[in-house]
Amino acid sequence: MTVRITRRRAITVLAAAAGLPLLLKANRAEARLYRWEGTTLGAPSSISLYHTDEAKARAAVTAALGELARLEAMFSVYRADSSLSALNRDGKLDNAPVEFIEMIGRAKSLAAITGGVYDPTIQPVWSLYFSHFTQPAAPTAAPAERDLAAALALVDWRGIEIDAANRRVSLARPGMAVTLNSGAQGYITDKVAEVLRAHGFANMLVDMGEPRALATKPDGSAWRIGIANPADPSRAVTEIDVVDKAVSTSGGYGTLFDDAGKFTHLIDPRTGQTAPALLGVSVVAETAAVADGLSTAMVLAPVERRQQILRDAGGLSAIFVTPDGVAATVTA
């Protein structure tokens, strides 16, 4: 069978799309919208910024895309030449980039805060599910218990060893592997936003898989973001206005391993079981790096721990949705 991948980007960005004027008056100059679309770590991504000089806007976006390419070369689990792939292949990474060490540190910190509900070393279990459900025989049941137990034995965020002074990251046991798919997109969003800000731009929506709104639109209105319906991610189940905040969404429906949607890409590191397909969680935070990762953790966290995890990790709110609408909202 073919695994259905719609990506974890479960946010429909409504701002800078239908219904948004492309020309606004700002500081007596005409502020025009410049928009770039592409992919980041395999997910749809975009930059929407207002400008009064298109040449400067193009130059800024070109610089931002250079930063995107540089960071993708570190964090991509799909590229054989990435820093992450080298770590997973060799069990260690010498001369690790500063940003890679920072991102690994962030992942370990979130794992500690959540008590392992979020664990970046879940990759061996994800790989097991993927290889199992892409067999020609098209299985409909979960992987064998012995195989799942063997993969789970390799999952332990405490086995990631960081030697920042010597720029070295290593894994404690052979077979361990790390994924930063829940975290790196938000981190890249923030870094790209920093580049655009350094070029003098203030009013923008940067979405490298997780959207971050910087300031308002030039007319003073907020950026409006739609939270996807888990049953149909192309449609919004609710909308929120965002100013100087980031939103990250996770949901099992991002990748379905089986046709019935019983097995999804969000896997509980404690049990090896997957999250339900028709539940989505959107986390709002000051930065995309904080929101990303937290949204995955909130999908898997026990109800009674949601608020504490959100608060300790620096999130502001978490919106839980089903195809019927908003099921719950948790605030820090």
Give which of 5, 9, 80 is closest to 38, Cα–Cα.
9
- Name the one residue in this structure whose structure tokens are 């962030």: 106
Q: Is 248 annotated as a binding residue?
A: no
Torsion angle, alpha carbons of 141, 142, 146, 148, to 10: 170
The span from the CA of 247 to the CA of 207, in Å, is 9
Is 292 flagged in the annotation as binding? Answer: yes
Q: How far apart are CA 228 and CA 232, in angstroms?
A: 7
Q: How far apart are CA 179 and CA 102, in angstroms?
A: 14
H, E, C per residue of 82-144: CHHHHHHHHCEECCCCHHHHHHHHHHHHHHHHHCCCCCHHHHHHHHHHHHHHCCCCCCCCCCC
Residue 317 among known ligand-binding residues: no
Contact 170, 91 (CB under 8 A): yes
Nearest CA to 169 out of 85, 50, 266, 255 is that of 85
Residues in CB range of 144: below 8 A, 6 or more apart: none
Identify the CA nearest to 85 among candidates 98, 100, 99: 100
Give the residue carrying structure tokens 């100013």: 243
Specify whether the CB–CB gap between 100 and 75 falls below 8 A.
yes
Burial 268-282 (b: 16+ CB within 10 A, else e): bbeebebbbbbbbbb
Which residues are known binding-site members for Mg(2+)?
Answer: 182, 292, 296
Which residues are known binding-site members?
Answer: 182, 292, 296
